């Protein structure tokens, strides 16, 4: 459990010794040879897009202290390799000493806030490639939503292409999440048609001057084997906010495909229906192993 003393220490360091963040990042023990194994990564970048709801709880992720406690539990479980997060969350975890021997993937574009008229304007408001390299992190993650009816998609594609190139220059993972979306009654929703995802994969994997360091983060949809035939790049499966039997079954089936290299799951494991974070993470990690 994250104690009151630890939170007070965290706040004191942020207020009085902000340089400790860089010191902690550079002192972090980095994982070795991670590319040869299947990965279990915890996603923690949802609040930066104003997305703090989980299932029927609109403010489930509102407490940062509670979120940090859940992240600490998840990162402590066997078979968990790292975290995807924005600077605020990653830096809290660094100051708490939770990121040794863990992959750190910086979340880059968080400008498309959930539920807004500009939700699909996925500007880069988070990490950039230079900071990821300077902090000794392992890669950057970018959301690449493609809406045929939104001209703003073009600027997102351009920005993601530049980020892929810059990360590759530093030999860092570019985790690209190409998602076909459409607005229904004004709300942006994932298009789960396999054909739409295949087209999005074709676009996402071609971004940048090289795909040498590009990994894809993909949802599980129907006819997943056909979807995965669309790429030779390493694939990580995303989770959504449900950790029910249907989600686990979908992950387990897709993980049998040789192109799938693991899971990147956040809310589904951090806020499971029974609130047992350790058990939810253990079940997902067992599938990855």
62 has pLDDT over 90: yes
Strands 139-146 and 173-184: parallel
Q: Evaluate whether residue 43 is within a structural domain.
A: yes
> What CATH number does the domain containing 195 carry?
3.20.20.70
Q: Does residue 272 sit within a domain? A: yes
Higher pLDDT, residue 2 or 231: 231
Q: What domain range includes position 220?
A: 4-26+39-288
CA 61/CA 2 separation, integer angstroms: 16
Assign residue 178 a region (left: φ > 0; alpha: ψ between -120 and 50; beta: otherwise): beta
Does residue 34 belong to any structural domain of this protein? no
User: Is residue 193 a contact partner of residue 201, using CB atoms and an 8 Å limit?
Assistant: no
Please report whether residue 214 resides in a domain: yes
Give 79-132 pLDDT, tens digit per residue.
999 999 999 999 999 999 999 999 999 999 999 999 898 998 999 999 999 999
- Give the pLDDT confidence score for residue 239 in this predicted structure: 82
Tell me, yes or no, whether 227 lies in a domain.
yes
Distances (CA, A) of 201 to 193, 238, 240: 13, 14, 18
**Residue whose C-alpha is closest to residue 204's, from 122, 129, 125:** 122
In a domain, residue 32? The reply is no
Q: What is the DSSP letter of 97?
A: T
Q: What is the CA radius of gyration of the chain?
A: 18
Task: Write down the pLDDT at residue 3.
Answer: 79
Query: How many domains are contained in the chain?
Result: 1
């Amino acid at each position: 459990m994250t104690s009151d003393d630890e939170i007070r220490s965290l706040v004191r360091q942020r207020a009085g010794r902000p340089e400790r963040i860089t010191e902690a990042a550079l002192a972090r023990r980095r994982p070795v040879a991670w590319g040869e194994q299947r990965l279990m990564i915890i996603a923690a970048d949802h609040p930066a897009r104003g997305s703090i709801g989980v299932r029927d709880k609109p403010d489930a992720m509102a407490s940062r202290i509670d979120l940090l406690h859940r992240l600490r539990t998840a990162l402590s479980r066997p078979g968990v390799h790292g975290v995807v997060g924005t600077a605020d969350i990653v830096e809290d975890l660094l100051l708490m000493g939770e990121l040794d021997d863990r992959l750190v993937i910086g979340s880059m574009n968080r400008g498309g806030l959930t539920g807004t008229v500009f939700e699909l304007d996925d500007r880069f408001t988070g990490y950039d490639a230079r900071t990821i390299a300077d902090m000794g992190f392992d890669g950057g993650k970018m959301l690449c939503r493609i809406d045929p009816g939104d001209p703003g998609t073009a600027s997102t594609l351009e920005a993601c292409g530049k980020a892929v190139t810059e990360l590759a220059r530093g030999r860092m993972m570019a985790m690209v999440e190409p998602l076909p979306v459409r607005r229904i009654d004004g709300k942006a929703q994932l298009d789960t048609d396999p054909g739409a995802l295949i087209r999005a994969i074709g676009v996402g994997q071609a971004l940048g001057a090289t795909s040498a360091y590009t990994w894809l983060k993909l949802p599980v949809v129907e006819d997943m084997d056909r979807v995965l035939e669309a790429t030779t790049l390493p694939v990580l499966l995303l989770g959504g906010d449900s950790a029910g039997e249907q989600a686990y079954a979908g992950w387990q089936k897709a993980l049998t495909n040789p192109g799938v290299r693991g899971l990147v799951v956040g809310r589904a494991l951090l806020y499971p229906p029974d609130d047992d974070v350790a058990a939810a993470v253990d079940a997902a990690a067992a599938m990855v192993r």
